[in-house]
Amino acid sequence: MHYRILAINPGSTSTKISIYDNETPVFIKSITHKTEEINKYKEINEQYGMRKSLILKELQDNNIDINSINAIVARGGLLPPVKSGAYLINEDMIDRLKNRPVIEHVSNLAAIIAYEIGKLVNIESYIYDSVSVDEFTDISRISGLKGMDRVCVGHTLNCRATAIKYSNSINKEYKDLNLIVAHLGGGITIQLHEKGRIVDIVADDEGPFSSNRTGRLPLKKVIRECFSGKYSQKDINNIIRGKGGVYSYLNTTDTREVEKMIESGNLDAKLVYEALAYQISKGIGELSTVVNGNVDAIILTGGVAYSKVITNMINKRVNFIGRVEIIPGENELEALTFGVLRVLKNEEKAHIYKELVTNI
Ligand SMILES: Nc1ncnc2c1ncn2[C@@H]1O[C@H](COP(=O)(O)OP(=O)(O)O)[C@@H](O)[C@H]1O
Ligand SMILES: CCCC(=O)OP(=O)(O)O
C-alpha cells in the first residue's frame, strides 16, 4: 500500500515540514520565521493562520498537490496527560489546545494546523508521541505535596523514536529493555523507559539546566524572588525557560560557542560546561535507581550530543551504570511519519482523545 504523509513540527523560530511516500522522504523544509514576524503576535496561538498559509504556499511552490496526501501528522502539544503513540485529532483536542492548553508552547499549534489542512482535503490528521505522554506509575507521580502531583512533560517524540532505533540496531525488542534516554537539546529532559513504558523522567524544571533553561533551582530562593515585587509571572517564566542556564552565565545559547570560549582559555565557560555534564549525569544516576540499577543502556541524543567534549564528560561519570550510546540530533519529522505509518498499516491503533481531566 502506498501512503503519502505530511508531517508538521513547529518550533519557536521555524516550522519544519516533510512529505514522505511511505518510508521515503520526498520533501523536507524548515520554514524560518523572522523574529520581527513572530514578535507581531501577542499570544503563540495567534500565529496559527500565518504558519498554516506558509505551509500551504511551500507545498504549492514545490508542486505538491495537497490532494495527493493521505494523512497528516503533527507534533503533539500540551494536552493533559496522554498515552504514547498516535491520537486522532478531533474537536475535543482542538478545543483544549486553542482554549486551555496546559502550558503555552509552540507545539500546541501543530495539531490545530494539521486539523485545518486535513479538513480542506477530507483526510485524517494525527498527533504522535505528544510532549505530554504520561505513563508514570503511582509512586513516580508523588511530588511531596498532596494535591500537586508530578506530571510527565518531555521530549518523548525524539526519545521514544531513538530508543526504538537503538533496540532495533541490537536486534532486541524495545519492550524487553530498560533504557535511560537523555534528550540534550535547547531544553533537556531525561527519561527512563522500563520495558517499553516511560515510568519516570527528569523534567526541564527538575534536573539539569540547559542552554537557555534553568533546570531545578533552590526553591527557597525562587520563592523569595517571586515575591520580591521585581517580576511578573511572565518575567519569571521567561527567565526559567529562555534566559536561564548557559545563557545566564555566558550570554550564548550555542554550546559550540561555549567550546570555542573554553579553547580560548575562558575558565568560567569551562566551569559552566563541566557543571552541565555534572548535572546531566546526576539526572541519569537518579533515574537508574528506579530500576535498581538494571539499565541496559544510556542513550544521549539531541543537538548537544554532537559534542564529543560533553558526551565524554558524561560518559566518564555514568558508564558504571550501563553502556553509553550516543545517537546525536533529532529526527522528529521521521519519527512522526513512521509512527503514523504504523497506524495506517494497522501495526498500531490510534487512540481517541477525550476531555476527561478538567482540573489540569
Ligand atoms: N555540534 C554541536 N556541538 C555542540 N552543541 C551543538 C552542536 N550542534 C548543536 N548543538 C547545540 O544543540 C542545541 C540545540 O539542540 P536541538 O536538539 O537541535 O534543539 P531543540 O531541542 O531546540 O530542537 C543548541 O544548544 C546547540 O548549540
Ligand atoms: C514542553 C516540553 C518539550 C519541550 O521542552 O520542547 P522544546 O525543547 O522543543 O521547547
User: Is the CB of 255 within 6 Å of ligand 1?
Assistant: yes
Residues 101-137: tens digit of each pLDDT: 988 889 999 999 999 999 999 999 999 999 999 999 9
Number of H helices and E strands in the chain, helices first, is 13, 12
CA-nearest residue for atom 8, ligand 2, is 187
User: Is the CB of 155 within 6 Å of ligand 2?
Assistant: yes
Atom number in ligand 1 closest to CA 253: 25
Which CATH number applies to 156-329? Answer: 3.30.420.40
User: Is the CB of 105 within 6 Å of ligand 2?
Assistant: yes
Sheet of 14-21, strands arranged across: 24-32, 14-21, 4-10, 71-75, 125-128, 86-88, 351-352
User: Is the CB of 245 within 6 Å of ligand 1?
Assistant: no
Q: Which residues have CB under 8 Å from 93's CB, separation 6+?
A: 79, 87, 111, 115, 127, 353
CATH architecture designation of domain 4-135+333-352: 2-Layer Sandwich (3.30)
The share of the chain scoring above pLDDT 70, in percent, equals 99
pLDDT-derived band at 37 (thresholds 50, 70, 90) equals: confident
Atom number in ligand 1 closest to CA 211: 25
pLDDT-derived band at 245 (thresholds 50, 70, 90) equals: very high
User: Is the CB of 185 within 6 Å of ligand 1?
Assistant: yes
Residues 49-108: tens digit of each pLDDT: 999 999 999 999 999 999 999 999 999 999 999 999 999 999 999 999 999 998 888 999
360, pLDDT greater than 60? no
Equal CATH topology for 4-135+333-352 and 156-329: yes
Q: Which residues have CB under 8 Å from 292's CB, separation 6+?
A: none
Query: Where does residue 265 fall: left (phi above 0), alpha (psi -120 to 50 degrees), or beta otherwise?
Result: left
Instruction: Read off the pLDDT of each residue in 335-360 and give the average, rounded to a whole number.
Output: 88
Q: Give the span between the Cα atoms of 187 and 210, in whole angstroms.
A: 6
User: Is the CB of 303 within 6 Å of ligand 1?
Assistant: yes
Residue in 105, 201, 210 to alter for ligand 2 test, most ligand atoms within 8 A of Cβ: 105
ipTM of the complex: 0.96
Atom number in ligand 1 closest to CA 257: 27
Nearest bound ligand to CA 307?
A: 1
CB 128 within 8 A of CB 83: no
Please state the domain extents for the chain: 4-135+333-352, 156-329
Cα four-point dihedral sign 118, 12, 235, 304? positive
**Distance from the first to the final alpha carbon of the chain:** 41
Per the listing, cell 495527493 goes with 68
